[in-house]
Amino acid sequence: MSTEIMSRYTRWCETTLADPDLTEELKNMSGDEERITDAFYRELEFGTGGLRGVIGAGTNRMNVHTVSKASQGLADYVCSCFPEEKRSIAVSYDSRIKSDLFAKTAAAVFAANGIRVYIYPQLMPTPCLSYAVRALKCAAGIMVTASHNPSKYNGYKVYGADGCQITTEAADAILSCIEKTDVFGDVKSGDYEAFFKAGMIAYVPEGVYDDFIAEVKKQSVLSKDEKIDRNVAIVYSPLNGTGYKPVTRALTESGYTNITLVEEQRLPDGNFPTCPYPNPEIREAMELGMRYAAEKQADLLMATDPDCDRVGIAVRDKNGDFKLLTGNEVGCLLLDYICSMRLKNGTMPKDPVLAKTIVSIDLADRIAAHYGVRTVNLLTGFKYIGEQIGLLEEEGKEESYIFGFEESYGYLTGSYVRDKDAVDGAFMIAEMFAYYRTQGTSLPEKLDELCAAYGYYKNTLYSFTFEGITGVSHMQELMASFRTGVSSFGGRAVTELKDYAAGIDGLPASNVLKFYLEGNASVVVRPSGTEPKLKLYVSVCGEDAADADRQEKELADAFKQYLKED
């Protein structure tokens, strides 16, 4: 263990900390070089995703002091970039462990720096934070969440005045301010309750939340005369997060009368006792909900992640079994539904636009082209979709945006927020499901129709974890080797390599590699921006579903062999 790491540890041990849990943890790690090294070998990384890390003591952990330091940096940035009358920040938080503490800690730092704070009186989803930033004309916003990560994580997303997660330029400027801040010596703060009484901290007005729900309900693409069966049996799980109230409110106010909640996952609980990995992308998180759906004879299960910006679904197939649909499949179903209904009802705008990420399924491009919709492919991260909406707005074409999605279960049908919105996603999925059900068609049947018409595309995501100090360097070495040493995958020659690190196709520089392969296939490799993971996206197009499955497995196995994974 280096002397620098030991010096940091010793300083924290000798400082009176604001959270007694940290003091106890520091005592318990005494003499454990591995634990001390992992907790103090670096500062918790701040980037366009803000902060995200394991909750605990140390510079490489999420705690009140690392949150305070980041908040001081954000406060310095806001004070340097905005006139005094425009200095306000919106704050929201989810159900994770210490989320409310971290939110109030940040709010007190902002207030101590003369910045007015609007904080939700109770936990609220990420899209509600994006909406509040715009509605209240704030200079910035923060959402305390670790999204779909396990319970030991928490995080701190930062939003700009446009309601989007911050750009690389803003993140670099904020990071510069953070790096100048001493965690114990330079942070301004004070008593949260005193700031609240003085009016420097106030609750987000109730009308902002009401307006958000109203905007979600406006996303319906049904005509006023269209009749659908809103008594369809739906099971919904908030996965112990923030979605319970807004999702059920949007649905019930729109006439859905047969909603069953997964009781064990209904109320907020940062321990996520029935789904240790609260991610609707994975079967483990959906298992309890599928049991509920079977018992209630429901045909649709929806689940949202803790900060309610992602939604996953399961539907009955022709055999009566529940099938989990991928984010790509749901995205294509929603795109086709929205386009067909807009054309049917005469509401398709001029120059309609679909915004999606470069790792999302190519089938969507073909569906969009069929309807005369222009596809804009963007880097991974919904902030780029939010930015695209802003660019359209600047051109006076905000109405051109009809849909945006990413393969990681994020959807948005309107421009009222600038981040993915699972309240909107759940609302639109329920409407689509009910509409097709009324027409005598199921979602699996509709998906089969799309594949028959456009091709059997399959996109899959694999994540490979590299923990600790050695993991980061190993990922860097792997990315370097991919840039120079790969000419084929699974026996398919690489026909083209796009290296987005140089900033190509009009997109910002990003550490992403896309390999185009023989046979209409591709592989994308990138390090995660929020987790110690290397992500692989495999895309193939087969003659039928079985052929697509075979091709996908061959490419995935080839990549695993490259990593020497068993």
Residues spanned by CATH 3.40.120.10 within the chain? 40-212, 229-324, 326-420
Name the token pair of 132. 């509040």
Q: Residue 565: pLDDT band by 50, 70, 90 thresholds?
A: very low
Residues 288/403, Cβ–Cβ less than 8 Å: no
Which one is the CATH code of 229-324: 3.40.190.10, 3.30.70.380, 3.10.20.30, 3.40.120.10?
3.40.120.10
The rounded distance, in Å, linking the Cα atoms of 179 and 392 is: 35
Q: Which residue has the higher pLDDT, 214 or 501?
A: 214
**Taking 90 as the threshold, does the pLDDT of residue 538 lie above it?**
yes
pTM above 0.75, yes or no: yes
**Which residues 6+ apart lie within 8 Å of 255 measured at CB?**
230
Q: Look up the CATH superfamily of 326-420.
A: Alpha-D-Glucose-1,6-Bisphosphate, subunit A, domain 3 (3.40.120.10)
Does residue 566 have a pLDDT over 50?
no
- Alpha-carbon span 145 to 282, nearest angstrom: 19
Whose tokens are 């006139």? That residue is: 83
What distance lies between CA 564 and its chain's CA centroid? 30
Task: Report the pLDDT value the prediction gives residue 173, as an integer from 0 to 100.
Answer: 96
From 19-23, 81-85, 153-157, 317-321, the region with the lowest mean pLDDT: 317-321
> What are the pLDDT digits (tens) for 144-193?
999 989 999 999 999 999 999 998 889 999 999 999 999 999 999 999 99
CATH 3.30.310.50-classified regions of the chain: 456-562
Task: Render pLDDT for 256-314 as a digit per residue (tens, 0 to 9).
Answer: 999 999 999 999 999 999 998 999 999 999 999 999 999 999 999 999 999 999 999 99
25: confidence class by pLDDT, cuts 50, 70, 90 = very high
**Cα angle 388, 394, 397; round to 5:** 75
pLDDT exceeds 80 at position 531: no
Q: So what's the pLDDT on residue 564?
A: 67
Strand partners, 261: 236
Decide yes or no: CATH 3.90.850.10 for domain 456-562. no
Helix (H, G, I), strand (E, B) or coil at 409: coil
Structure confidence at residue 144 (pLDDT): 98
Q: What is the pLDDT of residue 509?
A: 87
User: CA separation (Å) from 556 to 214, 280, 358, 566?
Assistant: 44, 22, 18, 12
- Which of 44-53, 341-350, 450-459, 542-551 holds the top average pLDDT? 341-350
Cα distance between residue 17 and residue 64, in whole Å? 9
Q: Tokens 């995080």 sit at which residue?
A: 155
pLDDT band at 560 (very low <50, low <70, confident <90, very high): confident
Q: Does domain 40-212 have CATH number 3.40.120.10?
A: yes
**Catalytic positions:** 147
Mean pLDDT of the chain: 94
CB neighbourhood size of 512 (10 A) = 22
Burial of 340 (0-12, 13-18, 19+ CB in 10 A): middle
